[in-house]
Amino acid sequence: MTYNAVETITQKRDGNRLDDDQIRWLIDAYVRGDIAAEQMSALAMAIYFQGLDDAELATWTSAMIASGIRQDFSTLSRVAVDKHSTGGVGDKITLPLVPLVAACGAAVPQLSGRGLGHTGGTLDKMESIPGWRATLSDEEMRAQLDDLGAVICAAGPGLVPADKMLYALRDVTGTVEAIPLICSSIMSKKIAEGAAGLVLDVKVGSGAFMKTPERAHELASRMVGLGQRAGVRTVALLTDMSTPLGLAVGNALEVAESVEVLAGGGPADVVDLTVTLAREMVALADLDVDPADVLASGAAMDVWRAMVKAQGGDPDAPLPVSRHTEVICATASGYVTRLDALGVGVASWRLGAGRTRQSDKVQAGAGVTLHAKPGDRVSAGQPIMTLHTDTPDRFADARAALTDAVTIGPRRLEPTPLVLDRID
């Protein structure tokens, strides 16, 4: 059967389903350049409003995978398991998690990206370590996985090229939030990576793409379904992102906090989520070990240091520090009842820790250090956060983002649980 772009757009615009061959033709033709960007933009908007059913979504995802190469880690000496977070504020969990799960005996091929907007990127964080490099050849990645069980690096250009094209299109057409397109973007890459098991950390709250539990549950359920349908053992946790994770937001600041966790310290929420996700990953790898014990033993720190060195980094080198700081103090006495993740994330972004376009540079030392979290008692005039930047003219815009970010009340409220739901 012969297909064309205009009929495909109007078909989905009118709420009709696309057949499997039509979807496969569409993705292939788009990657080859036979479908114009404005036509795929129109289709993305039609999908935003009309959606894709489960069968359409599965075919769409497999067609995206077929646009590039697939990794195969079945010949590794360890079972390969992976984790993906939908993004948040202060979400540095990948950094302590990868070496911890590797120290438990699994292989973790963590192919990561850079940040955009108020959510941080793992590669930006790691690149604040002097000498560390994100780009590895397939041979280097496999050798490091066999030797250490841990790698954090950039995905190669051959992995799901359709997603690179579609993501750039969605970013400028107001269709980033379309759940079917989020699902296929994430899961095409994760399935193509070739891990046997996958844990999804789906963030919920003001600092996340999914603002409500209902939308987060839909996203998580559909991604779990895609993974399982493709033969990847997949579990999702819905985790709170109404408050930033930890006390550090910004690239080098988050690396320093991650090293504290690996050294046996660090904020309780970061430690708890790291261990919780590690337990899920270890279970998918069928390993009989408790990650909490492994973390306490120092073995994860050993893997971290070896992983950083293997990619050219110096784990002992001082991390970048911003040249200017400004302290924000509590305006009243009482208990912190709310600390808005989005406000803190936008402030960190405006200070230079994030980017507006993928081509923008980031400041490694920029960001926000928190001195109080919900549940803590503070006094008027007490420092509650410190802003960091190399360009002090950014302070005013950062303060503006924080105008309504902190609420102080007379009574202590119980913090929201970190893990809200589990889907398998």
Positions marked active-site: 84, 163, 170, 185, 189
What is the token pair recorded at 47? 């999908």
Q: Show Cβ contacts of residue 288 under 8 Å, excluding neighbours closer than 6 positions.
A: none
CB contact at 8 A, 73 and 80: yes
CA–CA dist 146, 72 (Å, integer): 13
Q: Which has the closest alpha carbon to 243: 275, 278, 273?
A: 273
CA–CA dist 418, 267 (Å, integer): 13
The half-sphere exposure of 245 on its side-chain side, counting CA atoms within 13 A, is: 32
Q: Which has the closest alpha carbon to 107: 297, 307, 260?
A: 307
Phi/psi-derived region of residue 391, left when phi > 0, alpha when psi is between -120 and 50, beta in every other case: beta
User: Using alpha carbons only, how large is the chain's radius of gyration in Å?
Assistant: 22
Q: Which has the closest alpha carbon to 220: 51, 84, 81, 65?
A: 84
